[in-house]
Amino acid sequence: MIRVTRREFAALAVTTLVRPTLAAADPSLIVRAIPKTGESLPAVGLGTAAVFQSDNEATQRAAAAVVRTLLEAGGRVIDTASTYGAAESVLGETMAAGGLRDKLFIATKLEGPDPTELKRSIARLKTTTLDLLQLHNVRNPRQSLAQFKAWKAEGVCRYFGITSTYHGDFAAVEALLRREDPDFVQVDYSLDNREAETRILPLAGERKAGVLTALPFGRGRLFSAVRGKTVPDWAKDFAGSWAQFFLKFLLADERVTAVIPGTSNPAHMTDNLGAMNGQLPDPDQRKRMVAFIDGL
């Protein structure tokens, strides 16, 4: 399959009359409660992998515009990592320049329980505390999260969690969810990549872990699949664009706390945030969405 990036898809959409619009209607935003505390989070956030990796003026301008767009539409969640190039530094500069830290829910990731790596991340982000600190891409089912729990107890972070986008490591994710009881788990989950739906989400619900969903557009596969097509009539009551179609499929599962699509484009950010408005697909509509995508 030829992969189509979000930017390429948007250009194609102009000629096929697929225009990103905010889904109609309900003025209240979709928010989700963090299971262990009840704290509310807006259900659409921002991922920074790949999009903020270069520390230059153009990236800094794009970051400032996208973060401003996120906040103006009621979003708060931004996910980054120590290994995403300059993303932490770019985000830190953006927050410092605009005095935005207290308005955002900042999640970052470490490769291990390394105090030096943590200190570097905090310095890059220009903050003293993190909202969510995650162990990145867990592989070892016997991995201890004792240091992350200690950092939480010390007030370095308010929540701790684990992540993986490698399905071969889902057994490790399951083991840590059961034994270490993290506050959050982050996994890849999209309309064409649903393994997390049967393996991780039920256990996260049982253990009261919040769920962040990375790669909700399937690394561009979903935009490739619908290239040249318009959102079907039966979905237009809940989705004003393909991005909203894909994101609302995930948000219709109440175990999903927030989706975190990555973008450096304010128009795409606005389109993504439209998934927090209006109705969500019901179970029958979700089945129809799966059949539609699987049939392409």
Total Cβ atoms within 10 A of residue 223: 23
Query: ∠ at Cα 34 (31, 39), nearest 5°?
Result: 75
pLDDT values of the chain reduced to their tens digit, one per residue, 296 residues: 445 567 656 554 433 333 333 333 335 899 999 999 999 999 999 999 999 999 999 999 999 999 999 999 999 999 999 999 999 999 999 999 999 999 999 999 999 999 999 999 999 999 999 999 999 999 999 999 999 999 999 999 999 999 999 999 999 999 999 999 999 999 999 999 999 999 999 999 999 999 999 999 999 999 999 999 999 999 999 999 999 999 999 999 999 999 999 999 999 999 999 999 999 999 999 999 999 999 99
Residue 284, domain member (yes or no): yes
Write out the residue range of the structural domain in which residue 101 sits: 38-294
Distance, CA of 195 to chain centre: 17
Residue 19, domain member (yes or no): no
Q: What is the structure's pLDDT at 8?
A: 59
Query: ∠ at Cα 292 (286, 293), nearest 5°?
Result: 95
Residue 280, domain member (yes or no): yes
Q: What is the structure's pLDDT at 67?
A: 98
First to last CA, the chain: 11
Residue 8, domain member (yes or no): no
Tokens of 260: 């975190």
Q: What is the structure's pLDDT at 28?
A: 80
> What would the pLDDT profile of 214-255 be if each residue is shown by its tens digit?
999 999 999 999 999 999 999 999 999 999 999 999 999 999
pTM for the whole structure = 0.92
Q: What is the structure's pLDDT at 146?
A: 98
Residue 7, domain member (yes or no): no
The CATH number of the domain where 263 resides is what? 3.20.20.100
Residue 28, domain member (yes or no): no
* Spatial separation of the C-alpha atoms in residues 85 and 227, rounded to whole Å: 30
Q: What is the structure's pLDDT at 39?
A: 98
| Number of domains observed in the structure of the chain | 1
Residue 169, domain member (yes or no): yes
Residue 20, domain member (yes or no): no
Residue bearing tokens 């664009």: 241
